[in-house]
Structure 1
Amino acid sequence: MSEIIPARPIPLPWVSNVVEDRFGLSVVLRVGNAQQRFRWIAPGHFLMGAPADEAERGCSELPHEVTLSSGYWLADTACTQAFWLAVWPVNPSHFQDHPQNPAENVSWHDAQGFIAELNRRFPGLYARLPSEAEWEYACRAATTTPFSFGNQITVEQVNFHGNYPYIGGDKGLYRQRTVTVASLPANPWGLYEMHGNVWEWCADWYGEYPEEPQIDPRGPIIGKMRVLRGGTWSDPARYARSANRSRIEPAYRPLSSGFRIALGQIRDPVGMRKRIR
């Protein structure tokens, strides 16, 4: 039996529920009447980027080996407007007809301000944006295909511009807006809408990938633009690929930009579960 590495547990007073299901271990964080579920993403190794023969790949998607040496907790959905308003008083979103719509029209700085306030309220929570590598690792969920659903997607799986399907796919519904979070199928690790719906900010400055293997990459030290991932409701399907990269200046607020929260570097969900029990 392998040795259990000591963990930094999530502060237990703020965990309202701990669940194990077919996707693995998750915890729920409540803020007022709103809540967010976080899934444990175990450490691992994957090929980041897109192979040369992947259809509609971008020129910045050089495949390279990445090892994530520590696990982390990742929100199973993009931050909702309900969760945003439980922390921050003003809703910046355009589509405000349902509290479970993702918060959008959010800059990178807005997301960081929200996370800073969340951490101020709960010292030791260590909420943050995921790194670009953490984001793609979780999106792929151990798959190597263009999408975590396989080589093709439909509008029943992903909210994208249905008039522009992935190469070889059929046209479908163009919703012209976001959908409520967790309303489309989850990926194999229980994460919803990693493909499509809203672009999701990552912590990293945008930069070219290195050719050599990387351990826990965090992107360039400085830069002009921050990374966004996942594609959006208004984009063709190719932008929803697991490897697709986008970037804009961190002060810019696209109508389609949101974010997903990560928590700390917690190495031992098994040990945490034993302590909770």
Structure 2
Amino acid sequence: MKVYQKSLRIHRNGMSRLDVVIVVLVLTLLVSLASPWVLRLREQARQTACANNMKQLVAGMRAYHDTHASLPPAAVWDVNATYSLALHESDRVERISRENWLQLILPQIGESDLAAQFDSTVPIGHVNNEQARTTWVGEFKCPSDTFHREDSPHHFYPVVGEDQYIEFARGNYAINGGTHNYELTPPSTQGPQGDFCHLVMSEEPRRYEMWGNGIAGINKSFSFDDITNGQSTTIALEEIRSGVHELDPRGVWALGQVGGSITWGHGVNGDTFSPNNQDFRADDILRAKELHQAVGSDQIEALGMPTCSYVDRNQQSTARSMHQGGVNVAFVDGSVKFISDNIDPGLWHVLHSRETPPEELSDWELLADMSNFAEASTTRRSSLMDIPHTYTNSFGMKFVRIPAGTYEMGLANNDRNLGSPICPTHEVEISRDFLISIYEVTHEQFAMAENQEIESASDIATLPITNVTWYEAQTFCERISKANPNFLYRLPTEAEWEYVCRGGSTEPYDWNLTRQPNDQSGDAAGITPWLPLTPVGNYPSNTYGVYDMRGNAWEWTHDWFDRDYYQRSRKTNPFGPELGFIKVVRGSDWRFIGEPCLLDYPMQPPWKKNPFVGFRVVCEPTDSSLEDPK
């Protein structure tokens, strides 16, 4: 029998070397394309986990409020820990610090056993609290923070140069202490301090309280009723990063200190005015000098954790995270939102303030991603070409004509990378003459506009009116405009104000930090000792015949504040940004003298009052028939 067999030739259905190479290339391409997507998914998951941690913490704070009728204080400091009551100046934080907000809400977030381990009768640095303060808690960690590890605690050395240290576990969440000015010097003619902080110290009974515009202070608590701002628009908690070295005290969950578990003083009145702020002087923390020596200043900045090397005090710290482009913040109502690093500093400031009127933030989310607001349009009247040299209105307010001109506004950067809102110098043209009040508005004039009376012989009648909001100053302008229908009264723009203050001079003003014995100028901004408020016209006028531009009360201007505005303002008659949340306050030809002139201590929200901030006005004729009284 003949058997037919299949061919022995094998038909291979496998892949050739070329096929393998092509497949490898395709897979490599797919992996390279998918990797960023996978990484984004992972980061989104970490960001979501972080947000969930914050929701749990705010729920605990709200439960604490239900029990105690107030939110927890940011921290409890022991008034008997040191001889001096100036606890904010002490470097013995392990002695003065007791409970902080996070310890106080432990029972409300399911950590009763951990809460029981703390001994509240002794300081946080006491050995009795060692086990509790070194406990690592997963819910206190943002998964994106690679510096927050169980094996990277904070070591606080009570005495620099010695080996003994006190250990603390890390944390990533801080209570909103506020965006007020961190300076504790009270407002004065030397400096108004803007949105200033409050400090109470007394010996009998021994008492210490420190608070700003946030939802919690040191030895100070607030209730929901104290939050003028809505609960959905007031920040309660925000992220902070764990320190980049054992000496770095930032991000320590059980330590009731600024930077450790409290954000503080990170608004427009300083140099850490936004989340993840990268100004080289941004955070002010204890042992910063030693941290710079251990890590290196360049490396600290490269890690995105700048701190001022010459400040040795926990007094200023902003929100920080390792998420791309921003931070998570939790509001009092428990909602969590991701805030861009590029948020307008003014908006960042007022979102942290419990005092912000709710109507100011009705559309804040539409503006949250806008870092620069559009330029405001000018409203100057066309009839300004024909105005008198001097003028006195029915309220007894005297005005003088300021000639049109051009000048260099602001401060030269000089390649110092200052990042200052008063840099760079830029040419400004005031295109037409205008009238400005030679004095600041007085108590008597302000009362007349409100149909009230003050005895002309009264001690306060001719003092500049202060403790008025920007809105009240604006209302004054509207009232006197109605009383004098041929005139429009308004606040001067910042450019007009500085132009008048300089008095036509192109030379830098010769400032002295300390008042000279024979100084009769009345100049006060930045000068020690400060002068009291005095009746208007008590000191000599400048070359334009205008009084108290560098002294007496600080003054509201028309403009919204924007830190970048000098870099993009128009040349002719700039009117400031169209929108904003903070108003410009002026009191010298720049802001201040020395280092403070690079910051913005005077700026403040338009609804806030200050005992040393008043105003003067510009008068614009609306009828060309106005004649010169001379």
Query: Scaled by the length of structure 1, what TM-score is found?
Result: 0.72
**Is residue 255 of structure 1 aligned with residue 606 of structure 2?**
no
Could you say if the C-alpha distance between residues 83 and 212 of structure 1 is closer, same or farther in structure 2, counting changes exceeding 3 Å?
closer
**Is residue 201 of structure 1 aligned with residue 528 of structure 2?**
no
2:394 corresponding residue in structure 1: 30
Identity, % of aligned pairs?
Answer: 26
Query: Scaled by the length of structure 2, what TM-score is found?
Result: 0.33
* Conserved? CA contact 1:72–1:265, under 8 Å: no
* Conserved? CA contact 2:384–2:432, under 8 Å: no
Counterpart residue type for residue 188 of structure 1: T
**Is residue 191 of structure 1 aligned with residue 546 of structure 2?**
yes
Root-mean-square deviation (Å): 3.5
CA–CA distance in structure 2, aligned partners of residues 236 and 247 of structure 1: 12
2:428 corresponding residue in structure 1: 66
* Conserved? CA contact 1:230–1:244, under 8 Å: no
1:50 corresponding residue in structure 2: 411
2:524 corresponding residue in structure 1: 160
2:477 is paired with a residue of what secondary structure? helix
1:181 to 527, 532, 536: 536
* Conserved? CA contact 2:385–2:432, under 8 Å: no
Compute the displacement of 1:146 (Å).
Answer: 4.0
Larger radius of gyration: 2
Structure 1 moving runs of 4+ over 6 Å: none
Q: Deviations over 1:76-107 (max 9, x none)?
A: 0100111111212469xxxx733110000011
Compute the displacement of 1:45 (Å).
Answer: 0.4
Q: Which stretch of the first structure deviates more once superposed, 118-127 or 219-228? A: 118-127
Instruction: Looking at secondary structure, tell me which structure has more strand per residue.
Output: 1
Q: Deviations over 1:16-38 (max 9, x none)?
A: xx7xxxxxx3111132xxx1110
Could you say if the C-alpha distance between residues 82 and 222 of structure 1 is closer, same or farther in structure 2, counting changes exceeding 3 Å?
same
CA–CA distance in structure 2, aligned partners of residues 156 and 197 of structure 1: 13
Q: Which stretch of the first structure deviates more once superposed, 244-253 or 107-116? A: 244-253
Could you say if the C-alpha distance between residues 244 and 137 of structure 1 is closer, same or farther in structure 2, counting changes exceeding 3 Å?
farther
Counterpart residue type for residue 223 of structure 1: G
Counterpart residue type for residue 110 of structure 1: E
Taking the TM superposition and a 5 Å limit, the aligned residue runs for 1:123-138 are 123-138=485-500
Unaligned runs of 5+ residues in structure 2 are: 1-381
Could you say if the C-alpha distance between residues 179 and 26 of structure 1 is closer, same or farther in structure 2, counting changes exceeding 3 Å?
same
1:30 is paired with a residue of what secondary structure? coil
CA–CA distance in structure 1, aligned partners of residues 405 and 621 of structure 2: 13
Counterpart residue type for residue 197 of structure 1: N
2:580 corresponding residue in structure 1: 223
1:115 to 466, 474, 477: 477
1:201 is paired with a residue of what secondary structure? strand
Taking the TM superposition and a 5 Å limit, the aligned residue runs for 1:70-109 are 70-89=432-451, 97-109=459-471
Instruction: Looking at secondary structure, tell me which structure has more helix per residue.
Output: 2
Could you say if the C-alpha distance between residues 69 and 129 of structure 1 is closer, same or farther in structure 2, counting changes exceeding 3 Å?
same
CA–CA distance in structure 2, aligned partners of residues 28 and 58 of structure 1: 42
Could you say if the C-alpha distance between residues 193 and 29 of structure 1 is closer, same or farther in structure 2, counting changes exceeding 3 Å?
same
Q: Which stretch of the first structure deviates more once superposed, 203-212 or 214-223? A: 203-212
Could you say if the C-alpha distance between residues 85 and 238 of structure 1 is closer, same or farther in structure 2, counting changes exceeding 3 Å?
farther
Could you say if the C-alpha distance between residues 59 and 48 of structure 1 is closer, same or farther in structure 2, counting changes exceeding 3 Å?
same
CA–CA distance in structure 2, aligned partners of residues 240 and 187 of structure 1: 24
CA–CA distance in structure 2, aligned partners of residues 88 and 264 of structure 1: 21
Counterpart residue type for residue 253 of structure 1: K
1:168 corresponding residue in structure 2: none
Q: Deviations over 1:178-220 (max 9, x none)?
A: 0111101111111100002111111110112125761110010
2:603 is paired with a residue of what secondary structure? strand
Counterpart residue type for residue 465 of structure 2: A
Compute the displacement of 1:8 (Å).
Answer: 6.5
Counterpart residue type for residue 157 of structure 1: S
Counterpart residue type for residue 199 of structure 1: W
Highest relative contact order (Cα 8 Å, sep 6+), 1 or 2? Answer: 1
Compute the displacement of 1:68 (Å).
Answer: 1.0
Could you say if the C-alpha distance between residues 197 and 7 of structure 1 is closer, same or farther in structure 2, counting changes exceeding 3 Å?
closer
Q: How many correspondences in the alignment?
A: 232
Compute the displacement of 1:72 (Å).
Answer: 0.8
Q: Deviations over 1:132-156 (max 9, x none)?
A: 1000001101113443xx4447552
* Conserved? CA contact 1:131–1:218, under 8 Å: yes
Unaligned runs of 5+ residues in structure 1 are: 11-17, 19-24, 166-170
* Conserved? CA contact 2:390–2:399, under 8 Å: yes
* Conserved? CA contact 2:384–2:620, under 8 Å: no
Counterpart residue type for residue 541 of structure 2: A
Compute the displacement of 1:42 (Å).
Answer: 1.2
Counterpart residue type for residue 186 of structure 1: S
Q: Which stretch of the first structure deviates more once superposed, 212-221 or 248-257? A: 212-221
1:102 is paired with a residue of what secondary structure? coil
